[in-house]
Amino acid sequence: MAGVELREIEIFLVLAEELHFGRTAERMRVTPARVSQTIKKQERAIGAELFKRTSRSVQLTPTGMVLRDGLAAGYRQIKEALSAAAAAGRGITGELNVAYSAAWCGTLVVAATDVFRARHPNCVVRIHESPLLDPIGPLRNGTHDVQLVELPIDEPDIVNGPVIFSEPRALVVPVGHPFAERDAVSLEDLSEAPMITPSGQPQYFLDHHYPRRTPKGRPIPRGPSTTAWQEVLALVGAGKGISPTCARAAQYYSRPDVVYVPFSDAPLVEYGLLWMATNSTPKVQAFTEILLEKADASAMGGTGQ
């Protein structure tokens, strides 16, 4: 494929993933006609069809599969080399402190950190757990540079970066509780038991995740307040109340005295990146890009490295 530009390789690889000219054009910010012209140029250069096109579908040919598999690794190396060179030019060095709230956020942060270290070897990354009590404080005092946490966070001095992923909600209840036998619960069920709530969170955050009334206006009784997630589980297990959480908590925090019951009608929990408005550095931006890559790869079942 002599004379083929990097942009044209990108168009081919995106089309090989999307198998749709319109979606490829959107991702590459070109017209569908440009995508079609680029593929035709490549097919002429190779002397064989790369895609089978019909009015209903687009499929890779065997030749297209060979080209996709051969280009993917090299293209990734080229991107990493360009990223490393750009990082050197932007001065991505020193130290970056990254924090996460939930264990499943930590898994993603660790995966992104591995890629970040490979691309930016002159920058040391330190990973921290964000405290349930005063989660914003470490950003403001400079202990953390960027945090992956539950939203919403709406503070004038803090930047809300992209939403990285969303998860369904569940209700954690004691073993033996009537809800524990159900396949699902609703937001209206929150009025039936005391809700254990965290301390130190902004009121708007509590109103979003730990409301005082159900959607129909029924009051939700308050249970004990806590400052740590393990305290929440201990209190629930002891029968002191119930607590909403992310459904994935069942995989990370299994206990013999609690049960996680999915909600049938609750909105998703959104997880996003935060950093101080005064700390929008190239390091933070580079880590954000890699975290989005890893989240996308995780959603598709790949590695994204």
Q: Is 217 left (phi over 0), alpha (psi -120 to 50) or beta?
A: left
State both tokens at 303. Answer: 């590695």
Pair of tokens at residue 101: 């709230």
The distance in angstroms from the start CA to the end CA of the chain is 25
When pLDDT is cut at 50, 70 and 90, the band that residue 84 belongs to is low
Strand partners, 269: 167
User: pTM here?
Assistant: 0.69
CA 75 to chain CA mean position, Å:
24
- The conformational region for residue 164 under phi > 0 = left, psi -120 to 50 = alpha, else beta, is alpha
Mean pLDDT score of the chain, rounded to an integer? 90
Phi, psi of 213 (to 5 degrees): -140, 150
Q: What was the pLDDT predicted at 86? A: 62
Weakest mean pLDDT among 1-10, 14-23, 111-120, 199-208? 1-10
Strands 58-60 and 269-276: unpaired
Q: What is the pLDDT of residues 219-234, one digit of tens each?
A: 999 999 999 999 999 9
- For residue 152, whether the previous peptide bond is cis, meaning omega lies within 30 degrees of 0, is yes
pLDDT in tens, 249-278: 999 999 999 999 999 999 999 999 999 999
* Residue 298 pLDDT grade (very low, low, confident, very high; cuts 50, 70, 90): low
- What's the confidence (pLDDT) of residue 233? 97
Per-residue pLDDT of 156-172, as tens digits, reads: 999 999 999 999 999 99
Specify whether the CB–CB gap between 172 and 242 falls below 8 A: yes
Share of the chain above pLDDT 90, in %: 73
Phi-psi region of 56 (alpha: psi -120 to 50; beta: other; left: phi over 0): alpha
CA atoms of 294 and 282, how far apart (whole Å): 18
Within 8 A by CB and 6+ apart from 3, the residues are 45
pLDDT one-digit tens code per residue, 88-122 = 556 688 999 999 999 999 999 999 999 999 989 98
